[in-house]
Amino acid sequence: MRSIVTFIATYALYTLPSFLFPMDQRWLQSLNKPAWSPPGAVVGLVWMLIYGGIALSVALLQDKVGWRNLGWLWKGSFLANVFLVFIYFAGQTVSKNLFLSVLNTALIALTAFLLVFVSWPYYRLSALLFLPYALWSSFATYLAWALYRLNP
């Protein structure tokens, strides 16, 4: 039962920023995009699936290891990552600064890779469930860079 609550809470934690700070769709549509940029609906669907993987990873860690046994590096990496997701949505809503978006997505990718590595000693499946997040965040960073370059 605790794992189900952990899954739901983690999923909610990662999706909450998009509801608190909705993206300006008109502004997003007005940006010049690279030809290889996926459609917005695909991006949204991928993020929802990735957040599910993150939630499953955290629930498995909670079930197999327990919160008290997770070290400060894991907890710090996780909290930093969640904080950066909130900052991303808040920043895009308020400033629409594409360069800051590049920096923020790079930090999200970095902390996502860190979560892969710090989860590995605890539970390998959990670490592997963070891997799509790390890879997609890296792609998002590259896309953010392309958007920044195309929209000076």
50 class by beta-carbon count within 10 Å (0-12 exposed, 13-18 middle, 19+ buried): buried
Q: Identify the residue whose tokens are 């459609």.
A: 39
pLDDT value for 114: 98
Q: Around 107, how many Cα atoms within 13 Å sit in the side-chain half-sphere?
A: 18
Give the model's pLDDT for residue 94.
Answer: 87
What confidence score (pLDDT) does residue 93 get?
85
Domains annotated on the chain, with CATH: 2-150 (1.20.1260.100)
CB atoms within 10 A of CB 143: 19
Per-residue pLDDT of the chain (152 residues; tens, 9 = 90+): 789 999 999 999 999 999 999 989 899 999 999 999 999 899 999 999 999 999 999 999 999 999 999 999 999 999 999 999 999 999 988 889 999 999 999 999 999 999 999 999 999 999 999 999 999 999 999 999 999 999 98
**111/133 Cα distance (integer angstroms):** 10
pLDDT at res. 92: 87
Q: What is the pLDDT of residue 152?
A: 86
C-alpha span between 32 and 54 (Å, rounded): 31
